[in-house]
Structures are given as structure tokens and as C-alpha cells.
């Protein structure tokens, strides 16, 4: 994918999550069942990095559970982070404005996290090269015995979401400009917006883990009206 196209898609999503932060948060008031399952498995003393933390749904759940191991939430949307800070006031919970697509972002965070959560974030990174670089950086932040918990949208399994696909021509691009599995989806809640999303196959998501020296395990589906809206994997060091 050409760098200009990558930048354009990144800007598209950045605009969406800034402009539609309030309406997006209204549709995400509770964690998905797949997320709840992961949170229930976490040790209360785990040091957690929540990538794409949004408006603080996961942070709020951890706070209510009495999590004491430290938490850092990062997101590229300042508007969503502002909501997270208003909702979670515990000093041990820190929120940082970070764009995963910006070179050197990992240097702003101290490594050694026992758990990294990356729920519904990797599919918003355009190009395989960028996704691999981000995952390598995340793996670098893991402790020696740490693990990553990852989810991506499996939106093609729902007819109502398939109907929300928008032709690339709407934003001045063509199918040939993007990669296989890339989609443009519209937003219909509290305003209009467009988002770039990559649809992963299970093998593709596993290969992404392998590219950072991690091993995918506990592959499962969850969430949504059909129980298959989210694809989940646990990534461990070999």
C-alpha cells in the first residue's frame, strides 16, 4: 500500500474517533463477553497495558474489580481519553495520548507489562507492514513471561454490517489502492462517519503474532448477536 494511502486511512479513522467520540461511547457502555472472559482471568497484581483503551470501559471494569497491579491506557483519540479520565480517577490508572502509527511511540512507555490488551484496535491499522511493526513494538513492551490478549472484528459474519460497506470511490480511492481484506464501513449512530477496517482471517491473525516472535493460542469467537462478531487470540512467548 502506498504511504499516501496509509496516511489517508489513518487520518480518516482519527477524524472519526475524534468527531464521533460521544456517539461511539454511547454504543460501548459495557465490555463485550469476550473481553469480560479475559478480564476475569487476570491476576489482580498484573501490570496492564490497554492499547486502544478508548473511553475507559476496560479500565472501569478493572477498577471495580479492585485491580492493584497498575494500568496504563493508550489511545490516539484525545476526546475518548478525556472521557476515560473523567470516568476513572484511581491514581494507579494512567491514560496517555499515543498514536500507534507514529514512529518511536513505544519509547514513551516503560517496558515490562505482564499483560497487554489489544481489543478491537489492530484492524484499524492500514497495511501489513504497519501492523507488524506495531505488534513487534508491543511484544518489546511485554515482560519475559507476559502475554497479549487480542481481538479483531469478524464483521463479515453479520449481514447488517456487510450492508454498511462503502465503495472506496466515496473517498477518492479505488479497490487497487488498498490491500485484500480492507473495507470502508459507515457509521449510523448519532451522526455520520466512515472508518477503515481490515478483516482478518484466523490464519492471518496467527501469522501476525508469529511475526513478532509470539505464539497464538486459545483461538475463539465471541460477541455480537451471533456470538461471532469478535475473533480472540492469546499471544504468548514460545
Specify the 3-state DSSP secondary structure of 218: strand
Strands 230-236 and 142-153: antiparallel
Q: How confident is the model at residue 89 (pLDDT cuts 50, 70, 90)?
A: confident
Contact between 135 and 106 (Cβ < 8 Å): no
Contact between 31 and 39 (Cβ < 8 Å): yes
Residue 75 has pLDDT above 80, yes or no: yes
User: How many residues are given for the chain?
Assistant: 238
16-58 per-position pLDDT tens digit: 888 776 666 566 667 889 999 999 999 989 999 999 998 899 9
Contact between 17 and 79 (Cβ < 8 Å): yes
Q: Decide which of 31 and 216 is more confident.
A: 216
Q: Which domains does the chain have, with CATH numbers?
A: 29-156+200-236 (3.40.50.150)
pLDDT attached to residue 175 = 94
Among 121-125, 148-152, 191-195, 232-236, where is mean pLDDT lowest? 191-195
Phi and psi torsions of 147, nearest 5°: -140, 155
Nearest-CA neighbor of 13 among 201, 228, 198, 231? Answer: 198
Specify the 3-state DSSP secondary structure of 94: strand
How far apart, in whole angstroms, are the C-alpha atoms of residue 188 and residue 131?
Answer: 27
190-210 per-position pLDDT tens digit: 667 899 999 999 999 999 999
Residue 168 has pLDDT above 80, yes or no: yes
Amino acid at each position: 500500500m502506498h504511504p499516501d494511502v496509509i496516511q489517508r486511512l489513518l487520518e480518516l479513522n482519527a477524524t472519526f474517533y475524534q468527531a464521533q467520540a460521544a456517539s461511539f461511547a454511547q454504543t460501548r457502555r459495557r465490555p463485550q463477553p469476550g473481553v469480560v472472559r479475559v478480564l476475569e482471568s487476570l491476576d489482580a497484581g498484573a501490570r496492564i497495558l490497554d492499547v486502544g483503551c478508548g473511553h475507559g470501559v476496560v479500565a472501569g471494569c478493572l477498577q471495580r474489580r479492585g485491580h492493584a497491579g497498575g494500568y496504563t491506557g493508550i489511545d490516539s483519540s484525545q476526546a475518548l481519553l478525556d472521557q476515560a479520565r473523567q470516568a476513572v480517577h484511581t491514581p494507579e490508572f494512567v491514560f496517555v495520548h499515543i498514536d500507534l502509527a507514529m514512529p518511536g511511540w513505544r519509547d514513551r512507555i516503560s517496558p515490562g507489562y505482564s499483560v497487554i490488551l489489544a481489543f478491537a484496535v489492530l484492524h484499524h491499522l492500514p497495511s501489513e507492514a504497519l501492523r507488524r511493526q506495531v505488534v513487534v513494538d508491543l511484544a518489546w513492551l511485554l515482560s519475559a513471561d507476559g502475554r497479549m490478549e487480542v481481538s479483531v472484528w469478524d464483521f463479515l459474519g453479520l449481514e447488517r454490517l456487510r450492508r454498511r460497506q462503502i465503495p472506496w470511490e466515496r473517498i477518492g480511492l479505488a479497490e487497487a489502492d488498498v490491500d485484500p481484506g480492507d473495507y470502508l464501513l459507515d457509521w449510523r449512530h448519532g451522526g455520520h462517519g466512515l472508518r477503515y477496517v481490515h478483516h482478518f482471517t484466523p490464519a492471518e491473525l496467527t501469522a501476525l503474532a508469529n511475526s513478532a516472535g509470539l505464539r497464538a493460542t486459545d483461538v475463539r469467537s465471541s460477541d455480537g448477536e451471533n456470538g461471532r462478531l469478535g475473533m480472540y487470540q492469546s499471544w504468548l512467548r514460545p
